[in-house]
Amino acid sequence: MAVVTVAVWALTFVIPPGRYDTEDGSPVPGSYHSVELTPGFGDRLKDLFLAPVNGLYGVTGTDSGLTAPGGSGDFAGAAGVFLFVLAVGAFITVTLRTGALTSGVARLADRLRHHRAVLLTVLLAVFSLGGTTYGMAEETLGFYGLVIPLMLKLGYDRMVGATVIMVGAGVGTLASTVNPFATGVASDSAGIGTGDGIVLRLLMWVCLTALAAAYILRYGARVVRDPGRSLAPPDEEDKALAASGADEAHLTVRQRIVLGVFASTFLFMIFAVIPWSDLHITWLPTLGWYFPELAALFVLGSVAVGLIGGLGERGTTDGIVAGAGDFIGAALIVMLARGVTVLMNNAAVTDTILNSLQDAVSGTSSGAFGVVVFLVNLPLAFLIPSSSGHAALAMPILAPLADFAGVGRATVVTAYQSASGWINLITPTSAVVMGGLALAKVRYDRYLRFVAPLMGILFVAICAFLALGAAVT
């Protein structure tokens, strides 16, 4: 992001400045015109110096249209998203420290150990649910030691154990419904609510999770019938693990309550962000919560989970601090990416780029538009593995394209997160992919061989959903 910041700053000296006329905050098609800017090199250098600060709490002046710390005007920083990311990190880490999540998955696995197909499907759905709700990624690394022995005992191989976790959470993130690090950041940058487009994303999540489960089940059944066809053949250690299996987990009363609070918090978040009135559901109140309220919700949830889970005052506060620290990287990426947006806006090149992209997609049907935006985001997703960084950097430019195409901006958000999630299933620089494969002791080339047909299936399905969603809106 530091390199991108400097590179974009340098490009502002080359890209000609220009602006659209706006109406209700949206650019008016055909109104793009060149503008003249007078800032000197010193002012430009100051913009670069203050870019991270402006990305956190910069304010766009009403008269000047320039963003700087302080002053009066429209808030342009990502402070709300920044605090929300830290609050979610604290909540997840405190929950993990109670042992409730790990024990809950272990207990579920023990109860379904005699129904391996059902167990595999349920486990994949659980990880997918984590991906679609809160972007479960690095958190999955703690489950390999539990799931791998269980899969081996059931007659599967390490590839099944690894992909139940990795593909499960990855597909969930790909079809994020309210994932704060993908859907939340992108929706904020696009100027829409997190609940906008949730119906399409929910359908995608159900269908793509089912496709992934069917694909892994088919491979697993083949390995059970003929172990020689395994892409991760068992060794002596695997045979010992298969014989020992996984220990039966015991859920304490405290942990059961913690799991209830954990699930309820995310369910309430979903309820609070969905615009029920827009869906013509009048018997449910539309709370219209946004990042400030959601950050407060997860801070409160962190305290409640820690105290209920028996961590005590010191353990709870340590967990909150550690969780915020674990997620500070994602929060800083959001801040830096928003700083890049400020650089482009202050140099008046954002609308110039938007105008060139408008020319590229002009004349496409609404259905084709959704697919084109998905394809445009694929190389961006590879270059920027962080879903939140990708969202904060790309959405301010890509989201207004939906206005020109006559479709909802939620279509652009769905296309972006689909591209990010799809690429991140195989990105070799991803700690989730490479770390997970290392823990599962599965070779990367074997994993690519396994997942390649599934990637093709998901690609076709995503394009179909995006074309349908864009055409409907």
DSSP assignment string, 399-447 = HHHHHHHTS-HHHHHHHHHHHHHHHTTT-TT-HHHHHHHHHHT--HHHH
Axis crossing angle, helix 158-174 with helix 409-423, rounded to the nearest 10: 160
Q: How far is CA 178 from the centre of its chain?
A: 9
C-alpha span between 9 and 406 (Å, rounded) = 31
Domain residue extents for the chain: 80-326
In tens digits, the chain (473 residues) has pLDDT values of: 788 889 989 998 998 988 878 776 666 767 888 888 877 888 889 999 999 999 898 888 877 778 888 878 888 888 888 898 889 889 988 998 998 877 776 676 667 667 889 889 998 999 999 899 878 877 687 678 678 877 887 889 999 999 999 999 999 999 999 888 889 889 988 888 888 899 999 999 999 999 999 999 999 999 999 988 999 988 877 766 555 544 455 788 999 999 999 889 888 887 887 767 766 778 888 887 877 898 999 999 999 999 999 999 999 999 999 999 988 887 887 788 788 888 888 888 877 877 777 666 666 777 788 898 999 888 878 767 778 778 877 788 788 888 877 888 999 999 999 999 999 999 886 768 888 898 888 999 999 999 999 999 999 999 999 998 888 86
φ, ψ dihedrals at 75, nearest 5°? -70, 125
Number of residues that make up the chain: 473
Q: What is the pLDDT of residue 142?
A: 64
Q: What is the pLDDT of residue 249?
A: 58
Q: What is the pLDDT of residue 129?
A: 92
**Block residue for tokens 């801070």:** 299
C-alpha span between 22 and 31 (Å, rounded) = 8
Is residue 167 a contact partner of residue 422, using CB atoms and an 8 Å limit? no
Instruction: Count other C-beta atoms under 10 Å from residue 359's C-beta.
Output: 11
Q: What is the pLDDT of residue 399?
A: 86
**Global confidence as pTM:** 0.71
Q: What is the pLDDT of residue 125?
A: 94
DSSP assignment string, 350-369 = HHHHHHHHHHHHTT--HHHH
Q: What is the pLDDT of residue 465?
A: 95
φ, ψ dihedrals at 460, nearest 5°? -65, -45
C-alpha span between 232 and 235 (Å, rounded) = 9
Two tokens, residue 121: 């499907």
How far, in Å, are 20, 139, 184, 275, 403 from residue 289 at the CA level? 31, 26, 12, 10, 24
Two tokens, residue 386: 């962080």
